[in-house]
Structure 1
Amino acid sequence: MNSTIVGQSNEQVDDYALDYSYTLDHNYTYVNKNNSEGNHAHCRETACVFSVILNVIIFLLGIIGNGGVIWIAGFKMKKKVNTTWYLSLAMSDFIFCSTLPLTIVKLVTDNWPFGLFMCKFTSFVMFINMYSSIFILVIISVDRCLTVRFPVWAQNNRSIAKANAVVVFAWVMSALLSIPAARFRKIQDKQTYKVCYNDHEGHHQTAVFIRFSFGFLIPFLSICLCYSILIRKLRENHRSKSNKPYKIMTLLIVTFFLCWMPFHIVAVMELGEYKNTPGYYSAQYVTATIACANSCLNPFLYSFMAKDLKKKCYSFLSKIESAIDEETRSGIRGTSITYSGDHRLSTAV
């Protein structure tokens, strides 16, 4: 079907689908050869239906899983540095997942009935989730690197108070970087529906550059640097008792980048001519929903990596607690110092 998009500025069209599924505002009015008047279409495309179904699953799993991590790390377990990192990560994902019902309503009805404040707030929450998640993963990587590379310093300086301060700083930076996402969100009234969309007022390229740089590239390079130091140090340390905590950290990081990399690639592609192709908007639906899925996966990674995975008598929550507790014990072992026969420092992680 040959169709033409009418009724919206080019900049509004170009800025669509830069956020999660609720910003994939394909509320365009279509005019074809057989219809001179535009019809407001609901969610009928395969990509849209896929997004709705996956968002419902993500909402349910994300609320239950991250809620379980918050309950365990925040109330059941003793407060330690490592539990602080994972509690912050779970809180970020939980807050975002709690806004997904608005996304689902928007996708199903192709309408935004929640007003300008929620239009801005949901976009703000989405990006604060993106930034805070990757910042916390960088913090975890740096913390593990310092623990292994400088065990004496780590043992004397790692504290819950400092960990809380670092987390607060990460959240403040995430909030500052997320302000433009809320600043440029607007509502447009149509005859029978409303559109929540991005209007970057000519700053679209700058917005994409900042998101890609601070939400993906720079954190990725930082984590790679930490990993190279960790791998080299762990190869020298043959007394490591367990590498399972590093597998958990690796899974969290790999999952984040696998979920978010397609989103950023598509966002960068939008700066070129690809945005004019029919399949591009479907790619935006799919990649944005995959990025959204990252918010519900972390608790299950904790569970699957726990020691008692094969023991069916253990509950899902106990697996999460086991994984986080193992990470905490490993961090304590990493700061312990023993002397070998030739009086060299050895760290057991």
Structure 2
Amino acid sequence: MDFTYEEFTEFYSTLNYSYESNEGDNTPHEESVYQHQSTCSKEIFCVSLLVLNVVIFLLGFCGNILVIWISGFKMKKTVNTTWYLSLAISDFVFCAFLPFSITNMAMDEWIFGQFMCKFAPSVMFLNMFSSIFLLVVISVDRCVSVMFPVWAQNHRTVKKASIVVVMSWLLAIALSFPSVIFRDVSSHMGRTICHNKYNSNQHVIVAVSRFLAGFIVPFIVIVICYSIIILRLRTNRMTKSSKPFKVMSALVAAFFICWLPYHVFVLLELSHQNYNHGLLTAGLQIGTALASANSFLNPVLYVFMGNDFKRKFKSSVLSKMENAMVEEGRTTSRYLSRSSSMDGRASTHI
């Protein structure tokens, strides 16, 4: 399949970049240069991406429904289950809108109208940011619980956690709004496409802001938080198991591996004239596939990293998820209680 630079996808051909000149020309750039000559079904690479997208959709959709059901209806509402529920909702909505992208890629045409052209990409960006922000919130919460156990035990409440979640979603909405403003439908090469009507400056501002707010700053915060946690736990020798370190490392690694390629190729696309067209197109598509894969990796990490795999493998999927979540809550409670008693003993010697 031949793609124009205006048809680069940010999320599986749904969130593609396109430009309009500052002179009022609303026709996508280089329309007369590239001709659409084939369909996705004739390209092995495109078919492979479609299959991968469908797998991501099914796993993410079903996996996050299970997490939502367990954390929202089967478990007592706590701060931890509030984080799990919010993150699962974010990932679930992200997956729920993937069929729009999959259909657009398969048909090589946007058939859902102008409203969905603006709404679907903005919702997908909303969930991209909200998911990342919630990962940051979870990291900060764990760090605070380890560094200030007495304060955390007295002040970590479901109400405050819910307020933090709402604030995270509001910030995500603000950062997702450019898709509502600049997204539009137009005719291109005899077919309907959904594209961004950016000029060069607007494109740079949006891409860089998404990179900073959606990757660099969150990643730095997550790494700092988990580094502090690991150092604190090792210093106090309050855990003999290496499992907490493995879970933390897995979460950080999953975040980094899933999102770095996407942001790198989006930034490279800003100066697309300096790079090979086919390589840049393939890189953007693969990068977005990895980014979306993070939406089903989170439930997997909850299940298989939260408790012993061999023992959990014999139980049902629902029991795996519920026990994994309960185990982390009990571990945190035991740590807070033990830290509180240690602080109490320390205060009697001062």
User: Does the TM-score normalized on the shorter chain lie above 0.5?
Assistant: yes
Opposite residue 118 of structure 1, the aligned amino acid is M
Which of 59, 62, 71 aligns to 1:64? It is 62
Match of 2:10 among 7, 13, 18: 18
Report the Cα distance in structure 1 between the residues aligned to 2:111 and 2:288, rounded to whole angstroms.
21
Q: Give the distance between the partners of 1:99 and 1:211, measured in 2 at CA.
A: 20
Check the 8 A contact 1:152/1:335 in 2, yes or no: yes
Higher alpha-carbon deviation: 231-240 or 38-47: 38-47
In the alignment, structure 2 segments of 5+ residues that lack a partner are: 19-27
Identity of aligned residues (%): 45
Q: Deviations over 1:93-122 (max 9, x none)?
A: 100111111111111110110011111112
Whichever structure has more helix as a proportion of its residues is 2
CA root-mean-square deviation: 2.7
Deviation at 1:134? 1.2
| Bigger share in strand | 1
Which amino acid is 2:178 matched to?
A: P
Q: Secondary structure at the match of 1:189?
A: strand
- What are the superposed Cα offsets for residues 232-278 of structure 1, whole Å, 9 maximum, x if unpaired? 21111113265535533432332122111000000111122445532
State the one-letter code of the partner of 2:163: A
How far has the Cα of 1:39 moved from its partner?
4.4
State the 4+ residue runs in structure 1 displaced beyond 4 angstroms.
Answer: 24-32, 338-342
Find the residue that maps to 1:197 and give its secondary structure.
strand
**Hey, what does 2:235 align to over in structure 1?**
236
What is aligned with 1:327?
328
Contact 1:308–1:314, Cα closer than 8 Å, also in 2: no
Within a 5 Å distance, the mapping from 1:97-108 to structure 2 comes to: 97-108=95-106
Contact 1:93–1:296 (8 Å) recurs in 2: yes
Q: How far, CA to CA, are the matches of 1:79 and 1:165 in structure 2?
A: 15
For 1:26-175, list aligned pairs within 5 A: 38-43=35-40, 44-175=42-173
In structure 2, the partner of 1:310 is 310
Distance 1:298 1:117 in 2: 31
CA distance in 1, matches of 2:166, 2:236: 33
Correspondences of 1:148-227 after superposition (within 5 Å): 148-190=146-188, 192-202=190-200, 203-227=202-226
1:297-330 CA distance string (max 9 Å, x none)? 2111212124252134301121111111112112
Which structure 1 segments of 5+ residues have no match? 6-12, 33-37
Task: Label 1:300 to 1:138 Cα distance change in 2 as closer, same or farther (>3 A).
Answer: same
User: Counterpart amino acid of 1:200?
Assistant: Y
Does the Cα contact within 8 Å between 1:149 and 1:233 map onto a contact in 2? Answer: yes
Deviations 1:39-81 (A, max 9, x none): 4532133332222111110111111100000000000010110
Secondary structure of 1:224's match?
helix
8 Å contact from structure 1 (residues 67, 94) kept in 2: yes
Deviation at 1:197, TM superposition (A): 1.0
1:48·1:285 contact (CA, 8 Å) conserved in 2? no
What's the counterpart of residue 260 of structure 1?
259
Distance of aligned partners of 1:82 and 1:110 in 2 relative to their CA distance in 1, 3 Å threshold:
same
Is 1:260–1:291's contact at 8 Å kept on the other side of the alignment? yes
Q: How many residues align?
A: 332
